[in-house]
Amino acid sequence: MKTIVIALAAAAALTAPATADTLSGSTVAAKTSYSRGYLAAGAGGGVDTISRMGLHVEGGVQLGHPRLVARGQIGVGIDPSRLIDTDTYTQVRAGLEARHCERGTTIACLLVGADVAYTRDVDRSYGFRPNETTVQYRPSAVPRIGAEVGDRIRVRALIEIPVYREPTMDGPLTVGLAATLAAGYGF
């Protein structure tokens, strides 16, 4: 939970009111025609207690200030390390993202944010435990940092650190590492 607090504090720091930039002694006004939202599709992979590969769709909308975005994401994927058994997951997320863009534009931005996620893992065993299916539901926190390039057409690259407790809720916290790449459209 400390990670979420740190990510949200960073988001608040990056959303301070924009001021004019100074370039070679002259004042240049900040651009105010930011995109109000975005839609994107992407792929990613990572590891926590299992390895994961998946596809996702995401979207976000500006919250009053151009640097703060409310976002959501839906993803599906598999555990590619399992050759006999079939592990799949479905994940739904919602969160906040702060953007710090180069000189008030949206061409090159650094991103920091955190999501609350709900994951449904399904393990269908065909090898050692024939015809056994295990379903687990797990809430998690997913802080992330990354970069975005482009204005209307965008490419986003993110590093994420999912944190969750095993479904029994009495085990230790599990921390993972994931990377995602998405292409999208700003509107």
Give the model confidence (pLDDT) of 106-121 as tens digits: 689 999 999 999 999 8
Model-level pTM? 0.75
Residue carrying the six token digits 């940092």: 145
In the prediction, which pLDDT does 94 show? 98
Residue carrying the six token digits 């997913």: 142
- The whole-angstrom separation of Cα 44 and Cα 59 is 16
In the prediction, which pLDDT does 128 show? 63
- The whole-angstrom separation of Cα 50 and Cα 138 is 14
Residue carrying the six token digits 């993803």: 75
Low-confidence ranges of the chain (pLDDT < 50): 1, 3-32
In the prediction, which pLDDT does 130 show? 65
- The whole-angstrom separation of Cα 113 and Cα 160 is 9
On average, the pLDDT of the chain sits at 80
In the prediction, which pLDDT does 121 show? 87
Spatial CA neighbour of 45 closest among 145, 182, 183: 182
Please check whether residue 163 is in contact with residue 141, taking contact to mean a CB–CB distance below 8 angstroms.
yes
Say yes or no: domain 2-16+40-186 is CATH 2.40.160.20: yes
